[in-house]
Structure 1
Amino acid sequence: MSSGVAGHSVLQVPVPQLEPFVLSRTRHYDTDYVSADPRFVHAHVTALGPFLDTVALTDEALDLVGGIACATGPFEFTLESVDTFPNGIIHLLPEPAHPFARLTGALWDAFPQCPPYAGAFADVVPHLTLDALSDDVTEESTRALVSGHVPARCRADRLDLAWYEPGGCRVLRSWPLGA
């Protein structure tokens, strides 16, 4: 963990079933965020982010995250429904969403200094980001592109602490859910 680097940490639930699609979109838009770390899964549902900076990632904080992961049992979910947020982010909605909402709530309760999405949104909606609206990208075009990958039946069994920075995206730590 380097300090003084322009980056941020995120607690995320990896979704390996959608990795080929999300990785291809990341490669298309911004190769700086394509990770060389084999543990890093670009396809994920954010549990809490941005999270702590490197100075605040103490053993005590990491143990607290580990305790929350341990208290959160693994769970099944399906990704099929494509939607678009008002800011243009095209995403998949997990069903059921409540296990993700509970995980986010537990993490936010433990780390009140880290509101989801830095407090930018009144409602926190669990989702897996697929793309963003542009002149060339619509919800319909994204739905057509992802159609071969959904419905995706998934199992949340791990919480990753990921670091995001250009040229340096990586997993800092992982915890099995319910272990």
Structure 2
Amino acid sequence: MPAALPATPSSGKGHSVLQVPVPELEPFVLDRTRHYDTDYVSTDPGFVHAHVTALAPFLDAPLLTPRVLARVAEVACATASFDFTLEQVDTFPNGIVHLLPEPATPFATLTATLWDAFPQCPPYAGRFGDVVPHLTLDALSDDVTRESTRSLVAPHLPARCRAERIDLAWYEPGACRILRSWPLGCA
């Protein structure tokens, strides 16, 4: 049974994301989040900073109605949990260093299914052509390269993972939290 929706997020300051948590890499991603922006370090014990985005940005807080939440639950129920491995480090043209899940197809299918259910929410607001499932690790800078990131994350790799749920996360400075979670597949 999904958790109850907490107090309505304040509108205008944040955004919602449908994401698949990856607890196996939480220590690394949480450490990098602390390094870059402590405002996005969540105190919610259910919040997993390490994730593969399923659909973002999602809907504004006032639009997170019971009907919308029920539709996400239907998609989650129709999506079987699946295993994946994270090992390959890559970099997007914008400098985001990330891991590519293998296989990527279950994530791509989940994103396509959610987008079909919520056509008003194109992945990444339609800014990118093909959506590449990934887990963000870092961003290139004078001090950060793909190689330096690969060295830092190496003790955690390969990460053998299982996608077991979709989280509806709220991202807002000082208030990141989970609004709702749904298990993948129907029991």
TM-score normalised by the chain length of structure 1: 0.99
Matched, 1:40 2:47: yes
SS of residue paired to 2:156: coil
Counterpart contact for 2:9–2:170, Cα < 8 Å: no
1:12 to 16, 19, 39: 19
SS of residue paired to 1:148: helix
Deviation of residue 9 (structure 1)? 0.1
2:86 to 72, 79, 82: 79
Deviation of residue 145 (structure 1)? 0.3
- Residue in 2 that maps onto 1:96: 103
Cα deviation, 1:130-158, whole Å, max 9, x if unaligned, reads 00000100000000000000100000001
Task: Specify the code of the residue in structure 2 equivalent to 1:16.
Answer: P
- Residue in 2 that maps onto 1:154: 161
Q: How many residues align?
A: 179
Deviation of residue 10 (structure 1)? 0.1
Correspondence 1:78-157 to 2 at 5 A: 78-157=85-164
SS of residue paired to 1:147: helix
Q: For the residues of structure 1 that align with 2:55 and 2:35, how far apart are their CA atoms?
A: 26
Q: For the residues of structure 1 that align with 2:114 and 2:88, how far apart are their CA atoms?
A: 26
Matched, 1:57 2:61: no
Cα deviation, 1:90-135, whole Å, max 9, x if unaligned, reads 0000000000000000000000100000101001000000000001
Counterpart contact for 2:11–2:62, Cα < 8 Å: no
Task: Specify the code of the residue in structure 1 equivalent to 2:109.
Answer: R
* Structure 2 unaligned residues grouped into runs of 5+: 1-7
Q: For the residues of structure 2 that align with 1:91 and 1:34, how far apart are their CA atoms?
A: 19
Aligned sequence identity (%): 77
Deviation of residue 41 (structure 1)? 0.1
Q: For the residues of structure 1 that align with 2:96 and 2:42, how far apart are their CA atoms?
A: 21
SS of residue paired to 1:160: strand
Cα deviation, 1:8-58, whole Å, max 9, x if unaligned, reads 000000000000000000000000000000000000000000000001100
TM-score normalised by the chain length of structure 2: 0.95
* Structure 1 unaligned residues grouped into runs of 5+: none
Q: For the residues of structure 2 that align with 1:29 and 1:130, how far apart are their CA atoms?
A: 11
